[in-house]
Structure 1
């Protein structure tokens, strides 16, 4: 018994030690960014580089929030609106499609699903020009419509929800059928209430992806009023990289705060949703 206990202790100790080292490796760049955002520009560019500021200052944060040509508050608002709208659109479109693939038995169901799943392998550059031309023809360029609706039919979302829906016992739906419920009634009153964890996990995934997206918003937005936060920070980096490096880092630190808040609030649902959909390695 003592040998088993020692073996279990060393096994868990090794796992925890590895996780601590990995966490330190991942968090180190973020810690450097936070630390240098409180330095002056002269101190950041000093060699050898310093990790801890000699005299911490909030000047960079003040400049990021007050300079009129930056408008960090406006870019943050645009990112939150675009990411929230995109998340809602993905859930509204993907949930019924996933239910159809999981429950409806029609000719070619598996073939069609395989074809849809294969589109994941298409790089985004393939659909860039057609999507841009479509936005131009719809007169949606430089609007929130161009930031929200393209890509809302998310194949990953359909796959994730389908995996979860297939694990829900069909007996629950059969009970609803005896009460006279059709396909929509079963989907609305049985499937969706049992899928809150999966829907939350998918919502967080697509929200984070769209919030951090740079390429597509850079293509379809042209004015200061419609830029998202990644686009604004990219322009800030190009314009002030040599002169105001701490200010760029301050903007990057501020941009991560909404993501941290969302993750802290929904952490349990994210883990549970990923596990129950079969994506957690079980």
Structure 2
């Protein structure tokens, strides 16, 4: 799933490559991806792409003065920019392409989604806050200082892994970077958010800033086609179950968490104790 660093990089890439061009047309192949109907998607045609922005994990393309194409790539979606789009029209419901945006110089991009769970979303709105997910976002992860993070964690009787992923609490962090942040902070994914000491919150905040800033630095300037590989290459524990922890050499472990799985190092994060492999588990005692 694209998270804050990748969406930031896509925003920068589209700002450099596409801003100033005119949208010739937007074709929707997967009706499930289209989340708004008024204004219709045809209203984007003829509009100049005047800006690109990010809201959490949402990509916001400004069209003219009063329209926004807001995109959420969800778990299995991606943006593929092509210097020359095929001339053929999309066939509804055929293939992985959900939406195609054709620009005035012949280039453009496809929004694709793999798998059977179709959650990629495209909204054409007059204000990004008309998108429910944008309206509910908490503060951006890179906008928080230590005190702001401490305030957000007060009263959160939940495991810190889930809190970091909750977009209504902190915007921009998903499954992958929450694993990386917690590893860097030397913190158990199942630690209670409201029980963290001030020192632990400071360590968590530093890890969050360091991991996300490093990932943004690596990602911005990359073409859309190389961002996925760049993200994987930068991971220390996420997606590396069974491999050696780059810090201590212990084996990276994996457990189920909510609707996915997490990876962690027991030596670095849980005092050597393995986490029980069951959903919403706590440390084995």
TM-score bucket (shorter structure): under 0.3
User: Relative contact order (C-alpha < 8 Å, sep 6+): which is higher?
Assistant: 1
Specify which structure has the higher proportion of helix.
1
